Amino acid sequence: MSSWIAMSIVAILLLIGFIREFAKVRRLRRSHEFASKYLNNFLEWYKGRAQDSRLYADMMHDANRMQELLGNDGTVSIRMPFESAYHSNVPVILQGVSAIKRDYYDIRGSVSETAKGFAQLVEDTVRRVIGRMSDDISNAVNRQFNPLVLFCSGVSGILELPLVILTESGLISSAQSHSIVAGRLFAGLRLVVSLLSFLGTVITIVLGWQSFVGLIKQIV
């Protein structure tokens, strides 16, 4: 009976971990699909001389999400044509797309250097991020079938539950919750709890539930 208790706990943690990893793969695939569609719309719009108002409206509607997906790659330092100073922390999507529309033509009626520069920047940055997403998806799919990863992910799910409750109740923001989960303190806690959970499961299976409880009482 004691072995069944330990195995049930492990099975529950593995199931929670699998659900979390499966959801992560779906989330990554949706982001990959979104970024690919955004890039296709951008290229079609730019090659159409930035005249398609529908595509432009769609891109501006999705600009904040696309900018967020770029992460650390989403801001750059650039020097505009005919300027000597550099502009720091320029958002690639939020600044680039509107700049192309505003300055597509130069005084000669040709495509301006500003538009060419921003178009290349937007395309290269989004393509690079799409490639990174493809790698993340491959890694995440492989993680779905790693029992150790699923076990640790299940433990993380249990540890994050209080943060989810606090977030849903409005006591902390989503940004604060994400910051805590991504922090080193939480990572250390997750590692310790995972190791203790795994060790406790092994001891329970080998010695039995009553012996494990007795061992815990001796330690405490």
* CB-CB contact of 180 with 163 (8 Å): yes
Max mean pLDDT range (21-30, 105-114, 181-190): 21-30
Separation between Cα atoms, residue 7 and residue 204, nearest integer Å: 9
Please, which residues have CB within 8 angstroms of residue 18's CB and are 6 or more apart in sequence? 144, 150, 153
CA 85, CA 172: separation in Å to the nearest integer? Answer: 41
Strand-strand pairing, 87-91 and 75-78: antiparallel
What's the token pair of residue 196? 């203790």
Tokens of 3: 């072995």
| Band (1; pLDDT cuts 50, 70, 90) | very low
Angle at 181 between CA 178 and CA 185, to 5 degrees: 135
Report percent pLDDT > 70 for the chain.
82
Among residues 83, 114, 100, 90, the alpha carbon closest in space to that of 43 is found at 100
What's the pLDDT at 62? 95
pLDDT number for residue 3 = 61
pLDDT over 80 at 17, yes or no? yes
Q: What is the arithmetic mean of pLDDT over 82-100?
A: 81
What does the DSSP 8-state code read for residue 112?
P
pLDDT-wise least confident of 153-162, 174-183, 192-201, 211-220: 211-220
Instruction: Encode pLDDT of 98-151 as tens digits.
Output: 989 988 887 787 888 888 889 999 999 999 999 999 999 999 998 888 887 888
Calculate the CA dihedral of residues 69, 73, 79, 81 and round it to 10 degrees: -50
Structure tokens at 45: 């719009």
